Amino acid sequence: MFDSHAHLQDGKLKNDLENVLKRARDAGVARITCIGYDLESSQEAVGLARKFKQVYATVGVHPHDAKTMNPEVKEKLKNLARDPKVVAIGEIGLDYYRDLSPREKQKEAFIEQILLAQEIGKPIVIHDRDANQDVMEIIKKYKAGKNGGIMHCYSGNLPLAMEAVQNGFYISFAGPLTYKNARRSHEVVVKVPMERLLVETDCPYLTPEPLRGRINEPANVRYTVEKMAALRNQHPDEVAYLTERNACKVYRIKD
């Protein structure tokens, strides 16, 4: 399995990281992408990717932190992004649910980082919460899926998912797929072509059933794989294999 989106640098995980990674390996999680959300967490993600063979990194400024984006931060992200183990720019996007940065600033940081990804020729990881329309408008206007990309922790509807697929994106599902009330996502998982599906934990957040309430970690991605397999009427091993292959493809991991 490939946990395509984890925050291993989070305080809840990093202090016990050797054990977290061992449990992941024991559960069959062969690769993990550690996702940055501001400059410091991006630097930490790259550090972990350099230290652990099975860990890859992304660098970027999350919409929550868009207000921290400036030319100096951008230059540092660009330098970090040249590391061969940096597999994407992210997570970037828009979050109109929490609005922790002004919306105009969120858009500006999102667009700047799309252009940065294009400049260095790497894919992007998108965070979209309650901002579907603006995210899709920007994706189309700037051809943001040119080098591929991921709609992370997808919770939108089917037409939007198909539009994202047509624009070069993969659709990634996290723990909420295992929740009973996630009917809309259950429909999307069945209809999106298998070759565009990914799984992730977004740990330490979004713990799947039956472990809800506990700190999430990469080993738990198997619950999302199992749910996806049940919904699609496929064997879990097949879904594990195919989603890993998809993640390697979008992140351009060859070995």
Residues that bind Ni ion (CB under 5 A): 202
Comparison of 92 and 229: residue with beta carbon closer to Ni ion: 92
Comparison of 44 and 202: residue with beta carbon closer to Ni ion: 202
Token pair 């230290």 is found at 51
The distance of closest approach from Cβ of residue 216 to Ni ion in the complex, given in angstroms and rounded to an integer, is 11
Comparison of 202 and 244: residue with beta carbon closer to Ni ion: 202
The distance of closest approach from Cβ of residue 144 to Ni ion in the complex, given in angstroms and rounded to an integer, is 18
Q: Are strands 55-59 and 86-95 parallel, antiparallel or unpaired?
A: parallel
Helices (DSSP H) in the chain: which residue ranges? 11-14, 17-27, 39-51, 71-81, 103-120, 132-141, 158-166, 183-191, 221-232, 236-250
**Cβ atoms within 10 Å, residue 209:** 14
Could you tell me which of 230, 231, 229 has the C-alpha nearest to residue 243?
Answer: 229
Comparison of 65 and 202: residue with beta carbon closer to Ni ion: 202
- In one-letter notation, the amino acid at residue 143 is K
The distance of closest approach from Cβ of residue 233 to Ni ion in the complex, given in angstroms and rounded to an integer, is 29
- The answer to whether 177 and 219 have CB atoms below 8 angstroms apart is no
Comparison of 3 and 202: residue with beta carbon closer to Ni ion: 202
- The answer to whether 233 and 246 have CB atoms below 8 angstroms apart is no
The distance of closest approach from Cβ of residue 204 to Ni ion in the complex, given in angstroms and rounded to an integer, is 10
The distance of closest approach from Cβ of residue 201 to Ni ion in the complex, given in angstroms and rounded to an integer, is 9
The distance of closest approach from Cβ of residue 206 to Ni ion in the complex, given in angstroms and rounded to an integer, is 9
* Three-class secondary structure assignment of 23-74: HHHHHCCCEEEEECCCHHHHHHHHHHHHHCCCEEEEECCCHHHHHHCCHHHH
Comparison of 93 and 145: residue with beta carbon closer to Ni ion: 93
Comparison of 4 and 243: residue with beta carbon closer to Ni ion: 4
- The answer to whether 38 and 67 have CB atoms below 8 angstroms apart is no
The distance of closest approach from Cβ of residue 126 to Ni ion in the complex, given in angstroms and rounded to an integer, is 11
Number of residue whose CB is nearest Ni ion: 202
Q: What pairs with residue 6 in β-bridges?
A: 34, 203
Reduce the DSSP state of residue 112 to 3 states and report it.
helix
